[in-house]
Amino acid sequence: MISLVRLKNLNVILSSIMFNTSLPPAPRLLDVVRDRIRLKHYSLRTEQAYVGWIRRYIIYHGKSHPRDMGKAEVEAFLTALAVERDVSAATQSQALAAILFLYREVLEQPLPWLDEVTRAKRPARLPSVLSVEEMGRLLGAVDDVSMELVVRLLYGTGMRLLEGLRLRVKDVDFSQGRIMVRDGKGGKDRVTVLPVRLMEPLHAQVVLVTALHRADLLAGRGEVWLPNALAVKYPEAARSLGWQYVFPADGFSADPRSGAVRRHHLDERRVQRAVKCAAALAGIVKPVSPHTLRHSFATHLLEGGYDIRTVQELLGHADVKTTMIYTHVLNRGGVGVVSPLDRV
């Protein structure tokens, strides 16, 4: 027979199971935002930006829950950004995009007031472009040997900074003289030209990457980050040479999402510093950044007589109107204009 003590203990256990209504704590809102962003395969930078703006939005309104706020609170926050912080139209638009993502994708609330929210209007600005002569001076003034090939490749291909740094060995086609840009802006792939003058130095870079990867494998490492869960579908791909970065980092670092320690690509800040220093050494007073190389690539192609559709494809623009801005830089907007002063 069961003793009285054991019977009481059994009753206590059964009672705790039957009547325990405590549930695990609900996930925090920002954690839910992160999960939703990752589910939609947004980039880490988008995740960081959106979470940051949503946090500022909540704090600005005294930590009220976004579910209890709406059009008035969103407009008040955006107005404060413009008036008190004097942010640019692009920054204000990014903040609005983050807040709308919160309401649409996370809280799943209808937004009947969306069309009534006052949106910032971006001013039309022409890009900063270097002349061919200025570009030659800039390229010659890059004093960091490890950055020289990166800078020349960005100008010679028209790639964005991160597109160049995320370039994988398998996407450099030496036989066809082309580079496949994977997962560019908007998640699109495109093909761009591989400059003949960079064939040899880029091939030498691949040889260095091959030796470095072989050493990493012998050390029990050699795994690289793969996009869109490809590591699950192809478990061995992360350790293959083809998926290694053409411009790998000097050391290993922890993945900010998974915590896995891998060799990532070069830090973009190194390229930004190299370009800035080169511009100063070359005596160029125009604002210069790695993106200036892309603008100059497009402008110089148009100056060389290439049609705008070809330039559009190389840049990966969805709309030719975006590419048309470079015709204004060339003063070819519709017709070539000659000042009447030059006719006197």
* Cα(236)–Cα(226) distance, integer angstroms: 11
Beta bridge pairs of residue 261:
254
CB atoms within 10 A of CB 331: 10
Q: What is the DSSP string of 49-91?
A: HHHHHHHHHHHHTTT--GGG--HHHHHHHHHHHHHTS---HHH
Contacts of residues 253-260 at CB distance under 8 Å and 24 or more positions apart, as own/partner, are 255/225, 256/44, 257/38, 257/44, 260/223, 260/225
**Strand 172-173 relative to strand 178-181, pairing:** antiparallel
Task: Give catalytic residue positions.
Answer: 160, 185, 291, 294, 317, 326
* Cα(135)–Cα(293) distance, integer angstroms: 8
CA dist 127 to 90, 132, 133, 327, Å?
A: 15, 15, 18, 11
Q: 179: helix, coil or strand? A: strand
* Cα(138)–Cα(129) distance, integer angstroms: 12
* Cα(309)–Cα(328) distance, integer angstroms: 16
In the numeric block, the tokens 């990966």 are attached to 316
